């Protein structure tokens, strides 16, 4: 495990957390209609076939999930950078 050279927040790197990728795989597989009976259309939900609605819901979940991961599960050098930036500002 890499530790921060100095700092109090733990490094967060998505590749090191298996659950992140398991959830991603589940969303991907749920969004593709391989598990639904071929050739079916009904019921129609919000003007689209039910399977397309399911697929759309999971596609949007993927957007939300990835967006959330970027913001909250990625923290590698931010602290170091922001501190350097603050130091530079102080010197000015």
- Binding residues vs another protein (CB under 8 A): 2, 4-5, 11, 13-15, 20, 24, 28-29, 31-34, 36-41, 44, 47-49, 51-52, 55-56, 59-60, 62-64, 66-71, 74-78, 80-82, 84-85
C-beta neighbour count of 59 within 10 angstroms = 14
CB closer to another protein out of 47 and 89: 47
Is the bond leading into 43 cis (omega within 30 degrees of zero)? yes
Rg (CA), the chain: 21
State phi, psi for 6 to the nearest 5 degrees. -150, 150
In the complex, minimum distance from the CB of residue 34 to another protein, in angstroms, rounded to a whole number = 4
Rounded to a whole number, what is the distance in angstroms from the first to the last CA of the chain?
36
CB closer to another protein out of 8 and 47: 47
CB closer to another protein out of 81 and 90: 81
């Amino acid at each position: 495990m890499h530790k921060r050279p100095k700092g109090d927040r733990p490094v967060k790197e998505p590749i090191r957390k298996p659950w992140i990728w398991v959830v991603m795989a589940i969303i991907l597989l749920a969004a593709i209609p391989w598990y639904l009976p071929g050739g079916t259309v009904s019921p129609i939900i919000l003007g689209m076939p039910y399977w397309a609605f399911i697929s759309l819901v999971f596609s949007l979940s993927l957007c939300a999930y990835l967006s959330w991961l970027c913001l909250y599960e990625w923290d590698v050098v931010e602290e170091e950078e922001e501190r350097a930036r603050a130091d530079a500002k102080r010197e000015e």
